[in-house]
Amino acid sequence: MQNKVIELGGLIENANGVMVLTGAGMDTESNIPDFRSKDGLWGKLDPGTVANINNFYENYSLIHEFFSNGLKLLKDCKPHNGHYVLAELEKEGLISAVATQNISGLHALAGSNNIYELHGNIQTFHCNYCGQPASLTEFLQKNNCKHCSRMALRPDAVLFGEALPEDVWSKTLDKVQNSDILIVIGTSLEVYPVSMIPGLARGKTVYINDEIGRWVYEFDLTIEGKAKQVLEDLYTVLGI
């Protein structure tokens, strides 16, 4: 057990409001690859190019295949203990909410209730043109939208080149700025505008990641390790 986890436990016990921000590194131990770590997807494809809003107009098949593959992968993925620890800390009143860049829905599956999905999610669908909802089957079958007849069904996930959902963004900032602690877990903090969030926090900032690198200078506390192990240790430290 790292002393730094014990230090984090103490901070949480004495805090008035703790907010969590997660990224793809939170889900890798549930077998969902991230983008930028050594075994990530980045080397295999460039998500910024594939999952880009321009493809709706230029190459719909590519974007359809990208999300269909993501949905297939997700079918066999379950939350790990780290997701369950965050849900349990929320139930105990020790954290107020989880903001996530992940589109997997694993925080909700683990039982977290206050979740801000900054990049939307991959499990619900709408038409990119008329905005009407659509079903998973309609999306997978590459149907045209039954309301406007366009071939433009897509998940409710934010694509590169699109703005974040405004209400989710402003609720997240409000929580971040009114919390004593912001705990950032498993993100390279490369994707804008989420990358700005730690800099907007007014309380203490904590970074849990398997590679800390230059972030050691930007956070009040950094814990190098796997999200699952660090959160399991935190659960033990908090004795709940």
Q: List, by residue number, the catalytic residues.
A: 119
Q: How many CA atoms lie within 13 A of 234 on its CB side?
A: 29
- 159 forms part of the interface with ligand NAD (CB under 6 A): no
Q: Is 37 in the site for ligand NAD (CB under 6 A)?
A: yes
Q: 37 or 143, CB closer to ligand NAD?
A: 37
CA distance 85 to 5: 14
| Interface pattern 115-154 for ligand NAD (x via CB under 6 A) | ----x-----------------------------------
Applying CB under 6 A, does 222 fall inside the site for ligand NAD?
A: no
Q: Quick one: DSSP state of residue 123?
A: E
3-class secondary structure, 173: helix
Q: Which amino acid would we find at residue 189?
A: L
At closest approach, how far in Å is the CB of 37 from ligand NAD? Answer: 4
**Residue number with CB closer to ligand NAD (27 or 90):** 27
Residue count, binding to ligand NAD (CB under 6 A)? 27
Minimum Å gap between C-beta 2 and ligand NAD is: 13
* CA atoms of 182 and 175, how far apart (whole Å): 9
Q: What is the full DSSP assignment across 140-165?
A: HTTPPPTTT--S-EEEEEPPBTSPPP
Contact between 210 and ligand NAD by CB under 6 A: the answer reads: yes
Omega before 193 within 30 of 0, i.e. cis: yes
- Minimum Å distance from CB 215 to ligand NAD? 9
Q: What does the block give as tokens for 203?
A: 């309380």
Q: Hunting for tokens 């989710």 — which residue is that?
A: 168
* Angstrom distance (rounded) from CA 192 to CA 26: 18
Instruction: State the residues that interact with ligand NAD by CB under 6 A.
Output: 23-25, 27-29, 32, 34-37, 40, 101-104, 119, 186-188, 190-191, 209-211, 226-227
